């Protein structure tokens, strides 16, 4: 009985080691995936006031989303209406102090737009679309 319990404990320790290794690998993958992000870019963060960085990023995203309410859709997406549907930005990732990427949709179609922006805490943020990708329907 003692040997059986010792074996169970040994197996449990091996499983714990496997889970720890998996967690380390997942953490490394996450760090690699977030390499091009504002949160991991100290140089880009210096452009912002560190005390208001989170609020500034929220403001930038809100300003992009506010553009969705225009009659022809979000002007950062250069397609206008597609099949009568206006292009709406629904997800935004701020890459650094100059670029953001946004996902958009228009009915069944979707795509991404790379945007250059200039943030000034005293004025509205200015946006300039750099490039877009429109994906085919599946």
pTM of the model: 0.79
Q: In this predicted model, what pLDDT tens digit does every residue of 9-49 receive, in sequence order?
A: 999 999 999 999 999 999 999 988 888 888 888 889 998 98
Q: What is the pLDDT of residue 37?
A: 86
pLDDT tens-digit series, residues 79-120: 988 889 999 999 999 999 999 999 999 988 999 999 999 999
DSSP notation for the chain: -HHHHHHHHHHHHHHHHHHHHHHHHHHHHHHHHTSSSGGG-HHHHTTS-TTTHHHHHHHHHHHHHHGGGSTTB-TTSTT-EETTEEBEEEEEEE-SSSEEEEEEEETTEEEEEEEEEEEETTEEEEEEEEEEEEEPP-
Q: What is the mean pLDDT of residues 111-136?
A: 95
Per the prediction, the chain carries an average pLDDT of 93
- pLDDT average, residue stretch 107-134: 95
| Residue 138 confidence (pLDDT) | 66
Q: What pLDDT sits at residue 1?
A: 84
């Amino acid at each position: 009985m003692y040997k059986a319990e010792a074996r169970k404990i040994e197996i449990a320790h091996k499983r714990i080691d496997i889970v720890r290794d998996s967690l380390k690998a997942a953490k490394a993958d996450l760090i690699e995936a977030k390499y091009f992000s504002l949160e991991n870019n100290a140089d880009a963060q210096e452009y912002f006031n560190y005390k208001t960085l989170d609020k500034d990023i929220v403001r930038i995203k809100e300003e992009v989303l506010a553009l969705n309410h225009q009659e022809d859709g979000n002007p950062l997406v250069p397609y206008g209406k597609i099949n009568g549907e206006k292009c709406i930005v629904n997800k935004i990732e701020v890459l650094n102090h100059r670029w953001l990427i946004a996902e958009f949709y228009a009915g069944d179609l979707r795509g991404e737009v790379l945007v250059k922006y200039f943030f000034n805490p005293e004025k509205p943020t200015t946006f300039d679309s750099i490039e877009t990708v429109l994906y085919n329907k599946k």
